[in-house]
Amino acid sequence: MKPERTEAIILHTHAARERDKLVVFLTPDHGKRKGWAYGARSIKSRFGAALEPLAKVRIGYLEREGEEAVRIESVDLIRSLFPAQQNLVSSIAATYIAEMVDTFAPANDPAELIYRLLDRTTEALLNGATPMAVVAYAEIWILRLGGVLPSLKDCMNCGTPLGRPLRFDERLQGFVCDTCANRDTVTISNEVADALNAILRRPVDEFHASDAILFEIRSLAGTLRRHFLGHELKSFEVLAGVLAF
């Protein structure tokens, strides 16, 4: 067996057998991995709270050649999400971001940028940032890192530099110039365009926007994501329900 020890963030766990857990975690160097945590469900588990979703940990595991799931040997807690979980919206926002990362992160391949995004957005929630601003930031960056976010600079159809206002062509799933625009093209306000640029240029803790602008950004991100995946994320409706409450 090949031993590894690395920093990781727990994405989610599944109960398995009577005493065990199957853990899905994200690492910067090896991407998304799965591992067996034997005895993790027992009362006196040595893993404690370190396997809670979105816990940042130092994880040690053994990898057997040809097997998809590794054997988790040790988990040392670096940072817990527990304080943010005391706020319902922050807790569900974190679950939603974790599902996005789980969906888009590559398995067994380096994922340093996605890892950094998850780490910093989780930290922002812990520091009391507005949950919907953090969610919108994560949605746009996940699409960009996944190669789904269209260019904000050049026309999707002809390559001409884009002017303002931006125009989104849902058929092409991209922004088009005035010449390529048609009557079905949706106009994006300059305020929303400025906010999109701010997301791509600033760290998450420096991004702020009104509720109306965040709604428009999230609507655009949802359109791109659903077109790419062919379905919506499971936690999307849960988050929407909490926001409507």
Does the structure show a pLDDT above 70 at 1?
no
Q: Residues 191-240: pLDDT tens digits?
A: 999 999 999 999 999 999 999 999 999 999 999 999 999 999 999 999 99
pTM more than 0.75: yes
Q: How far apart are CA 103 and CA 171, in angstroms?
A: 24
Q: How far apart are CA 192 and CA 5, in angstroms?
A: 42
Q: How far apart are CA 225 and CA 143, in angstroms?
A: 7
Query: Which tokens sit at 239?
Result: 């988050």
Note the CATH number of domain 2-79.
2.40.50.140
Q: How far apart are CA 67 and CA 160, in angstroms?
A: 48
Does the structure show a pLDDT above 60 at 152?
yes
pLDDT more than 70, % of the chain: 98
Q: How far apart are CA 145 and CA 109, in angstroms?
A: 14
Radius of gyration of the chain (CA): 20
Place of tokens 């034997």: 38
Domain residue limits, the chain: 2-79, 84-244
Place of tokens 């857990």: 21
Note the CATH number of domain 84-244.
1.20.1440.120
Q: Residues 60-69: pLDDT tens digits?
A: 999 888 788 9
Place of tokens 């940990």: 57
